Each structure stands twice: as structure tokens, then as C-alpha cells.
Structure 1
Amino acid sequence: MVPPLLSYAEPDSPLQIVAIDEDECFRDTLSNELEPRGFSVTTFADGPSVLEAIDSLAAADLIVLDWDHSSSPGLTLLHQLRRAGVAAPIVFLTRRSIASNECVALENGAIDFIDKSRGYAILAFRLKIARQKVPTAQRDKTFTLGELKLKTQVSRAFWAGTDLDLTVGEFKIVALLAANAGHHVTYRALYDVLHYRGFVAGCGESGYKTNVRSAIRRIRRKFEALDPHFDRIQNYTAFGYIWALDGE
């Protein structure tokens, strides 16, 4: 017997899908067809409506965008979601399966580009496979460390249950420190998460350190506004910062 080239394991709970499509009939049919196949589907008509409901994306396993949307083109919406701190994996649906469009979609971070005409059975199968393409480490939707809770899919941070209202860049710094709790993180590593590895800015070779210090001050003020005794983010002179654990 020839083994399948690619298979997937059925999840223990429904896959959470958020779909944005301007065709109301398609949205209704998508929900009706996918839910019996192991999905929970939330739909929106356009980009503005989903951007106003960012919190609804926190539980999403996949976000499904309409490449051909007339008012909220899929590629434009992908970039808007990323700028808003939404990190959930994205799949495009299209009515016109053109190779050049598929290349652009994949180059911009989509994990699949699916022709709507293939039918719902194929779509369900492809979405489940797309979910398996996501590295296990990126599937966790929340990260908790003491009083800190991070909703990684939407770049939201909470301290003792209250939203810290961090910017996307500030969230990235806190997430990196928390992921390395108890270990020092260099100025360079902290700066790289704000931009990209090797990015140069500031005055002189080490000017980026000033930018990191400024960001840390802003972050600390937001924590201290909720907890005047907050002291988890500590400086290691000339090296970087650490998220201190109890007793440190």
C-alpha cells in the first residue's frame, strides 16, 4: 500500500477560522460547509469591520482573506493586519488562480492560495493542511508568566488582567524578554525585534541602545501605571535587559 504524500491529524477541537469576504452568500455557505467538517467559522464583510474587532482574532487558527475583494483587497488587508500586530497565519481565497498572484501572496507571508472553484471539500482539506504548516511554537495563542498574559495572535499584553495598551513594537520587546525570563537579552536582540536583524539607526555604532532604553522607559511606565511596585524589567549595564523571576 502506497502511503499518502501528505496527511493531517484531526484536531481535538474545531479549527477557529476567521474569513473576510464581501459576498454574503459565500460567507453563509462557507460557514455551513466548513462547520460540519471540523471548523468554527467567524466571518466579516470587509477590512474595516475586522480591524474594528481585532480582539476577535485572538483565538483564530487561520485567517482567510479574499484576494479579489473590491474594497478591501486581500494583500492590502494582510499588511493592515500585520501592522496592527495580528500574527495569525493567513490563507488567500481567489476566483482567479493566476500563478503570478499566488507568488505575490506567498512572498508576502501567506501560507496558501486557494481557488474557490475547487469546492468546499478541497478547501477544508487544504485549510487543515495549512494549519499543520504552522510551526508548533507559533500555534500557542496565549503566553502566561505570573501576572503577565500575552495574546500573541493580536499582540496584546495584560498585567493582572488589565490591558497594558502596548504598541506592536513594545509588545515585541516584552514578548522577547518574557520568553527569555531569567536570562539577559542584549540591546541588539531587543532592537532587532523592533526592526530587523542588523538594522542600523541612532548616532554611532551603538546608537541603537538609546532607542532601546527609550522604549524600555515607555514600557515600564505603562506597567507602573497599573502596578507602582513593578520591577520585572531590569537592566544589565552595557549588555541589555532581563525579565526577572521571583527572587532575582
Structure 2
Amino acid sequence: MTSSLTLVDDDDMLRAVLAGNLAGAGYEVHPFGDPVEALSFLESGRTKADLLILDWRMPVMTGLDLLKRLRAKGIDTPALFFTSHNDILFEEAALAYGAVDFIDKTRSFAILQKRIELILGRAGQNSEGTAPLRSGSLTLDANKHDVQWRGRTIELTFGEFRVVSLLAQAGRDVTYREIYDTLRGENFIAGDGTEGYRANVRALIKRLREKFITIDPSFSAIVNYPGFGYRWVEAA
């Protein structure tokens, strides 16, 4: 069954290119340059979107405002922000209102497409009723895409959530390649050879540590094994 995407971006050229590439990848795409029109379309229920792809800054209404309006109406379609506003504060605000991912527009279409595949793959799995995973001070709820550390919520992107889940459940050292495949999908290539994906993983782990440390300055559960990967080791 063809997945339906609603794309909202006021950049006419970018919107046309993205819509064309996504349609060429086999998706049904409903593009809008006006977020108000997109809101009306989504509220009408004429076509159920499987995923929203939103820009941030647009005339009349930002992508975040659009997402807030949809959530207030009970429309819980997963949302991915594809935007040039890549500051952590924008990402945290989007995640707080239920966005599942946040991607910088400087990233390639191949990366955007892979993230869409991973998100829609997760949406197609029935995780309803799955009990939250608890590991020491960490609680992961796949149903709500909720992460808590010592009882406090940490806002993670879809990819970050997957990596924390992998590390926390592995009970062993996890290789750079395993982490990268969890984040991007198997056999996806980025950068120059081995160092390309390892550099991506190091940057991701640094970002994850920063998010946990914001909540708990003593956080040290993600341990590096140089040349191999990482392990989740929580102090007793």
C-alpha cells in the first residue's frame, strides 16, 4: 500500500523538487506552500496522511504552530521537520509537540528518504500494549516515544530513541556499524569509508550525552570502547 505524505514548505522550488523526488520514490505526496491550506486539508480528513514533512518558518503560521493546531484537533500523524533552523532549541520545541524527527535541510535527499522509511516502518509495526522498558534509571516507552532518566523526560529524535534502545537492551558492546545501521538503515553509506560512519556515530553519541547531562550532570552510562563502539553501563 502506498504511503501518503503531506509536505508543507513555502519555498516553491524546494517543494517542487522534494515532491517530485518523493513521488519518484513511490510515495503519494500532497504538497502545500501555505500552512493554512495544509491545515484545512488535514482537518477535512479527505486523505489520511501517514507522515507530515514540515518546514519551520513560513508566512502566517510556522510549522510548529501547524503541528500544535493539529495536535489540539486530535490529529496525531507523525511529523518530521525538514528545516534550515537546526538549533537545538528548535528541535526540542518540535519534539515536545510530538515530532518524531528533525533534519537539517543541508542533508541529502537520500538521508531524508531513509529517515522516512524508518519512521513509516515503525508506524507499520503494532507496538500498542508493549510494556515500557526499564533499565536502572532509564525508562523507554516505545508506544509514546517517551524517554525518562531518573523520572525526567528527555526529548529525543526518532533516530536517537532507536540508538538508546539498542544500547540499553544490548547488554554488550555495540559496534559503530550497528549503531549507524540503527540510525540510518542497513547498508547506508556516508562520509569516507569507515571513518565516515564512525564520525557520524561519535557526533550522535556526543549529542545524546549532552541531552542526558542536561538532566543529570553525573550521567556516564554511555561508555566508549575506542576502535569498536559503545556500551550502556549504568552504575549500581
Q: TM-score scaled by structure 2?
A: 0.50
Q: Which has the larger radius of gyration?
A: 1
Greater RCO structure (CA 8 Å; 6+ sep): 1
